[in-house]
Chains A and B, each alone.
Chain A
């Protein structure tokens, strides 16, 4: 009974700002379960050439950087994320379905709370910690 009450009291009381914006969290909590499904951006399907099933791989595809390596010259591979600039990051427009026909995920959009966590990760430099 006490646990039930505690859970009820805790339900929905935290904001996205209370959550980690580290890439390992963002990937395992949001990107992998929502994007790397069998018919989409898994290793199996890799639609549009994007395999988001592993943290390092997804980071490279989204940011154009290799985690742990110095920034490489040239155009980023995917140009989905511009570190520090969520307003210029294509990924944010796709997640919010604004200004694009490619709403992601196409079946059920992410809730705003999860989009806010991704936005904060980008805003804080989109590092691969």
Chain B
């Protein structure tokens, strides 16, 4: 009953709301790769001119996707943008009272200054705080720079090299940091390492590789202090309606070592308007100090019905096995996503998720999260 009430409340709220660009847009909108619309090779963040045009024309169907709705245009060497995201959350853990939260989730400003093929990229913003803002130095408690890097990129073949702080290209790069591939494979909030990355593209493929080291300033990030490397190779086929990627990662800390191999699948079914996204990763985690090892598994399968312009509705199942052979250690989630794009720059995203831990599917934890997102 209470879950039903939460869902009703959330649906009512979203009816007046508005949401952004996710991996669902690759292939389904005719954009064959992330960098078709984004300036970053990994996608996300600043949009290029084509991406801004698509945001207005193809995705929302109304409004001007340009910076500040086209009121002012920066010079060609400068790109500016930003993301404002607020969240309303209702959560009920097994047997507990419903928790209601409202909080700022994101307030980032992004800029890119380019001189020929070389660019300086910076994102800085307000740190989100769902329940409690941390103590400590005021600046570190409130501000964070998720990404800052220098990049060289050729325009003819897309070859790039970048150095600085960024997430390596790896896996389904969802905007939802709580999706299991992101949450459990080192791409959670503020876990961007420092590194050196490179990649290139062909007519039907793209390849990326990165080497990374721990964040040298602990007060600006989180996650395992790992040194390692990633590789990602994606191949598109069937007239850019399908893609398969293989990926691998090694991450070493003082406590453990993780070796990951995985595959990503993307399939656009134009007839029914369905976008299928999937990821499966196997990871071996070893503990040199404890003489033990365990096999881990991350699985994601999502289907999104695209009613562009304006709407997307999707369902996804996820599984995280931190120890595949340990009975009762898995997490499973079933979620529904309703996303609305009422105008260029605006987005509303309602997430409803049931999540069971330890294989308990009878009394799952319930989450409803409404995000309101505006980008400059």
Partner-B contacts on A (CB < 8 A): 7, 10-16, 18-20, 22, 24-25, 27-29, 32-33, 36-39, 42-47, 49, 53, 55, 97, 103, 106-114
- The binding surface of chain B is classed by DSSP as loop
Query: Contact: B222 with A28, CB < 8 Å?
Result: no
Look across to chain B and name the residue whose beta carbon is closest to the beta carbon of A16: B326
Sample of 7 more A-B contacts, CB < 8 Å, known A20-B290, A97-B93 = A11-B325, A14-B325, A20-B287, A20-B291, A32-B255, A44-B222, A108-B365
Query: Contact: A43 with B222, CB < 8 Å?
Result: yes
Q: With a CB–CB cut-off of 8 A, which chain A residues contact B325?
A: 10-14
The one of A16, A36, A44, A111 in contact with B331, judged by C-beta atoms closer than 8 angstroms, is A111
Q: With a CB–CB cut-off of 8 A, which chain A residues contact B132?
A: 47
Query: Contact: B292 with A20, CB < 8 Å?
Result: yes
Assuming the contacts A32-B255, A38-B188, A44-B220, asked whether A24 and B331 have C-beta atoms less than 8 A apart, the reply is no
Query: Contact: A44 with B365, CB < 8 Å?
Result: no
A109 to B136, CA, bound (A): 27
A12 to B331, CA, bound (A): 13
Partner-A contacts on B (CB < 8 A): 91, 93-96, 99, 128-132, 134-136, 140, 184, 188-191, 218-225, 253, 255-256, 285, 287, 289-292, 294-295, 321-331, 355, 357-359, 365
**Count of A-B residue pairs with CB < 8 Å:** 139
Look across to chain A and name the residue whose beta carbon is closest to the beta carbon of B89: A107
Assuming the contacts A33-B184, A38-B189, A46-B135, asked whether A112 and B328 have C-beta atoms less than 8 A apart, the reply is yes
Q: A58 to chain B: closest CB distance in Å?
A: 11
Q: With a CB–CB cut-off of 8 A, which chain A residues contact B365?
A: 108-109
A72 to B351, CA, bound (A): 49
Q: With a CB–CB cut-off of 8 A, which chain A residues contact B323?
A: 14, 19, 29, 113
Assuming the contacts A20-B290, A39-B128, A103-B93, asked whether A53 and B326 have C-beta atoms less than 8 A apart, the reply is no
Query: Contact: B223 with A113, CB < 8 Å?
Result: no
A19 to B322, CA, bound (A): 13
Look across to chain B and name the residue whose beta carbon is closest to the beta carbon of A15: B327
Q: With a CB–CB cut-off of 8 A, which chain B residues contact A39?
A: 128-131, 134, 189
Q: With a CB–CB cut-off of 8 A, which chain A residues contact B224?
A: 32-33
List 13 A-B residue pairs with CB atoms under 8 Å apart, sorted by A's residue number.
Answer: A19-B326, A25-B290, A29-B256, A29-B285, A39-B130, A42-B223, A55-B255, A97-B93, A103-B93, A108-B331, A108-B357, A110-B357, A113-B328
A37 to B128, CA, bound (A): 13
Q: With a CB–CB cut-off of 8 A, which chain A residues contact B291?
A: 20
A111 to B329, CA, bound (A): 5
Name the residue in A11, A43, A47 with the highest tally of chain B Cβ atoms < 10 Å from its Cβ: A43
A11 to B358, CA, bound (A): 13
Query: Contact: A25 with B128, CB < 8 Å?
Result: no
Assuming the contacts A39-B130, A44-B190, A110-B357, asked whether A29 and B287 have C-beta atoms less than 8 A apart, the reply is yes
Query: Contact: B96 with A103, CB < 8 Å?
Result: yes
Q: With a CB–CB cut-off of 8 A, which chain B residues contact A114?
A: 322, 329
Q: With a CB–CB cut-off of 8 A, which chain A residues contact B295?
A: 7
Q: A4 to chain B: closest CB distance in Å?
A: 11
Q: With a CB–CB cut-off of 8 A, which chain A residues contact B256?
A: 28-29
Query: Contact: A24 with B358, CB < 8 Å?
Result: no
Query: Contact: B134 with A106, CB < 8 Å?
Result: no
Query: Contact: A24 with B134, CB < 8 Å?
Result: no
Q: With a CB–CB cut-off of 8 A, which chain A residues contact B131?
A: 39, 106
Q: B355 to chain A: closest CB distance in Å?
A: 6
A42 to B222, CA, bound (A): 6
Query: Contact: A13 with B190, CB < 8 Å?
Result: no
Q: With a CB–CB cut-off of 8 A, which chain A residues contact B359?
A: 12, 111
Assuming the contacts A11-B324, A108-B331, A114-B322, asked whether A37 and B188 have C-beta atoms less than 8 A apart, the reply is yes
Q: B105 to chain A: closest CB distance in Å?
A: 11
